[in-house]
Structure 1
Amino acid sequence: MTVNDWVILITALGGIEGIKQFLKWWMSRRTNARIEDAHADVEEFKALREYNEFLQKQLSEKEERFVEQTGRLRSVQDELFKAKEDISKLSIELALKRCEKKKCGQREPPNGY
């Protein structure tokens, strides 16, 4: 190549400024790649954070429903235990007051047993 060919090539590439821009890009291509990777990581972490917040919200709602259902279950169990306790007391009272002989005249109050 002659000097004239080199001048034509440099001029076609934008002159000295074009060569400077090319060298600047060449020297910073790895840095630019790291910056792009960092931006991609930021976006990924943002998406993961939003998904995590969504899951946390769902979990807290399910925990609230669980607490509510547990409260209902305990109240129903309390009613059941109270009813069983009342039945047991009545059974004991009946056993104490029941006369073993049928048509017993000394039983108070008489009920036909």
Structure 2
Amino acid sequence: MIKGIVFEFCNKQYYTNFNKIIKTNNVNNFSAKVLMLQNDREIFLGKPYLNIKIKFRKYIIKKEKKKIIKFKRRKRYKIKKGFTKKTFLIKIIKIWQKKKQ
């Protein structure tokens, strides 16, 4: 049984358990590198990475649109812009060891 895992995903490091949901901002590269794996009895550390692959499930959440307004008085200048930041939820489904080549 896996107690904890530390992995690098989109240039950030996350520590999580097996079926836990993680919040991220961007998902450009959908591959992760495992740094540490903790079992019931042992802790495996990579030098710098372990030879383990992770399979994810991705969920997309859209948040409210933020309104940005620029205004200058007495100049009749007003600009309205909007920005929506996407938030992704990822969940670890499967962990397995890569085959050596």
TM-score, structure 1 length as denominator?
Answer: 0.15
Query: Which is bigger in relative contact order (C-alpha 8 A, separation at least 6)?
Result: 2
Whose radius of gyration is greater, 1 or 2?
1
Hey, which of these two has a bigger chunk of strand by percent? 2
TM-score (norm 2): 0.16
